[in-house]
Chain A
Amino acid sequence: MTTENSSRTSTVPETDSEEYSSVNPATDMIDCKLSRRDFVKTVGYFTGAGALGLQLISVETIVECAPLEFSASAHTVELTVNGLVHKLTMDTRVTLLDALREYLKLTGTKKGCDHGQCGACTVLVNGRRINSCLSLAVTHQGDQITTIEGLSGGEELHPLQTAFIEHDGFQCGYCTPGQICSAVALLEEARRGDASFVTPDLAHTGRVELTPEEIRERMSGNVCRCGAYPGIVQAVQTASRTL
């Protein structure tokens, strides 16, 4: 079977169209009724060209989730994640991280410390990098949320993803989605001229030159237990030159 491969080459593979026509990754995942086979197909969809489709989607899709009957304090919120709108009814206690992973099954975003100390759960909210474990999902009505799944353009990786591969910016890979999301925002902050602790001249307001020292300081919210830091710093520096 080549379903995984074919799914990587086109959004709706012609060779297997009937099977794929029934696959709606978003609803399948939210219903939490994934068979192993569906899971493989869905992964293919997200890692392949399908991700591009998701990113470019212009019509808002509303996915209804079953309300939580056991929750004393349920709240409904519309989360816009990677361009898709998801209407979710959740316990008020659910963090953005848990909403992404447990409700939307976007498990690219990782749970590390669940405490705002490690950065594995980094996502972009309206372009700002934040710890999704320290943010309540109900507070994100109307926000534009981007996760690692929303960065690539299908086959075409985000330049930072390419740079992380090129420079071995990871070993086990668990912190990598957070590292990459964090670095995406970092490049924008540096382009805009935001200061950091090591910025020598606060009066200089133009684009910040991303020296290894600046990159280390600016990536300090993302911890890597494998110690792939040298590769991470090189990857960010390479990407900063190409973007």
Chain B
Amino acid sequence: MIPRSFEYSAPGTLDEAVALLQKLGSDAKILSGGQSLIPMMKLRLASPPHIVDINRIPGLDYITEKDGFLRIGALVRESDLERSELVRSRFPILVDTTSVIADPLVRNQATVCGNLAHGDPANDHPATMLALGAIVVAVGPRGERDVPVENFFPALFTTALEADEILREIKIPIPPPSTGGAYLKLERKVGDYATAGVAVQITLNNSGACTAAAGIGLTNVGFTPIKAVKAEAFVKGKQLDQAAVKQASEIAAGESHPVDDIRGPADYKRDLVRVLTARAIVRALERVKGGV
């Protein structure tokens, strides 16, 4: 339970951190909350020769609304979402998500951005960010660039970040009125990864039909977080009555690619996606109508 030896640096600015990453290349690993990295290092599943601790960089722990986006800085902890009035009033789906991640102790250290940067399809925020149409802001020696979250997870435990880039911010478009979202997860016990999880975000037009902005994301039922694009296309323009919800959830289940493991057989998980999708759509509709 002791990691391999590593060098440790705690840069005081983003520029210094990027310069270090540039110098060290793939030898470096960024430490933010460390709640996935440190266990992996203890199990020696990861043995980075150099840890670059970004926790000493000031000004990265912001949750703000600016230029049409909710912006979550690199050092925002999961528990910060649970106490942010902005998030609670405008993005209850984010509270749904954070409150089922690990346990309160872990959430006090784990960061939201780290939850994406780790690239684990079992993590919960990726599905939610897919449903919300979030944008990842990466900073590196060539400056900043925006990566739509649907392009951020090319493969298992892989992200679109280059070795010398840092995930600086997550940008979430401020949704129009008549929008609601929900994240539902089944876990065997507190602290477990999802057996399956589903995030749904929908916006209704004046006649009560679903607009093109619908987003559906799936957790831990594939090698990457899954954007259920067929289900999204299906709900577009539809009145979400019982039959439409049923059909959408069946389509979403068909887009999942679960495997048999200790959390259950693939068929069970696929059916779980169906059930959770239906429930998440219903919950999202309740929130459109003003419920939290």
Contact = CB atoms under 8 A, between A and B. Distances in A.
Contacts of B42: 114-115
A157 interface: no
Nearest to B106: A116
A128 B42 CA distance: 23
A222 B109 CA distance: 16
B5 interface: yes
A205 B93 CA distance: 17
Contacts of B79: 128, 194
From B85, B95, B103, B105, name the one whose CB has the most chain A CB atoms within 10 angstroms: B105
B99 interface: yes
From B7, B88, B89, name the one whose CB has the most chain A CB atoms within 10 angstroms: B88
Interface in B103-122: 103-106, 108-109
Contacts of A114: 1, 42
Given A73-B6, A73-B7, A130-B109, A221 B103 contact: yes
Contact of B55 (A134, A139, A203): A139
B5 A73 contact: yes
Given A139-B55, A197-B100, A218-B104, A91 B5 contact: yes
Given A136-B34, A203-B88, A119 B82 contact: no
Contacts of A144: none
A193 to B, nearest CB: 7
B83 A192 contact: yes
A202 B39 contact: no
Contact of A130 (B3, B7, B31, B108): B108
Interface string B89-104: 1001001000110111
B74 to A, nearest CB: 15
Contacts of A192: 83
Contacts of A139: 10, 31, 34, 53, 55
Interface string B1-34: 1111111101000000000000000000001001
Interface in A58-116: 71-73, 75, 91-93, 95, 114-116
A130 to B, nearest CB: 5
A160 B112 CA distance: 31
Contacts of B186: none
A128 B99 CA distance: 16
B292 interface: yes
Nearest to B80: A194
A84 B227 CA distance: 51
Nearest to A197: B99
A93 B3 contact: yes
A138 interface: yes
B243 interface: no
A92 B83 contact: no
Contact of A129 (B31, B34, B39, B105): B105
Nearest to A124: B108
Contacts of B105: 116, 119, 122, 129-131, 182, 221-222
A196 interface: yes
From A115, A136, A141, name the one whose CB has the most chain B CB atoms within 10 angstroms: A136
B83 A202 contact: no
B109 A135 contact: yes
Contacts of A197: 99-100
Interface in B18-75: 31, 34-35, 38-39, 42, 51, 53, 55
Contacts of B35: 116, 134
A120 to B, nearest CB: 11
Nearest to B7: A73
A192 B85 CA distance: 12
Contacts of A138: 8, 10, 53
A195 interface: yes
Contact of B34 (A135, A182, A202, A205): A135
Interface of B: 1-8, 10, 31, 34-35, 38-39, 42, 51, 53, 55, 79, 82-83, 85, 88-89, 92, 95, 99-100, 102-106, 108-109, 190-191, 292
Which 9 pairs from chain A and chain B are nearest by CB? A221-B103, A221-B105, A197-B99, A220-B190, A92-B8, A202-B88, A194-B83, A128-B108, A202-B292
Interface of A: 71-73, 75, 91-93, 95, 114-117, 119, 122, 128-131, 134-136, 138-139, 141, 182, 186, 189, 192-197, 201-203, 205, 218, 220-222
Given A73-B8, A115-B1, 12 more contacts: A72-B5, A116-B105, A130-B105, A131-B109, A134-B38, A134-B109, A136-B34, A138-B8, A138-B10, A139-B31, A220-B191, A221-B191
9 contacts: A93-B2, A119-B103, A131-B106, A136-B51, A182-B105, A195-B83, A196-B99, A196-B104, A220-B104
